[in-house]
Amino acid sequence: HVEIGGMQSVYTHDFMRMKDVLPERDGLIHLANGVPYAPYAFGFYLPGHFLAPQATADYVISADPSFLPANLTPRNERLFLFDASP
């Protein structure tokens, strides 16, 4: 992998780790605060999954590594995936 995208490649690797943890498709995911400078990143990196309000989501993506107790991608650098189950 050659890093030519600067910080954007960090987001790529973060999404790759999320994809490894998520079911193959049909996940309901809340995206807290979006992805900086990449409004279509969710659909590009996680096709087959759906955006949902946090109240009905199975998972949450946030830039805050402590957003919820169950951080499923602690090795990520910018965006983190959480289990939203109570």
pTM to 2 decimal places: 0.88
Gap between the Cα atoms of 51 and 5, Å rounded: 26
Gap between the Cα atoms of 79 and 86, Å rounded: 21
- Examine the pLDDT at 23 and tell me if it is beyond 50: yes
pLDDT single digits (tens) 35-77: 888 889 999 999 999 999 999 999 999 999 999 999 999 999 9
Give pLDDT, residue 79: 96
Long-range contacts of residues 65-68, Cβ cutoff 8 Å, at least 24 apart: 67/32
- Helices and strands, number each (H, E), in the chain: 2, 4
Residues 6+ apart with CB under 8 A from 33: 62, 63
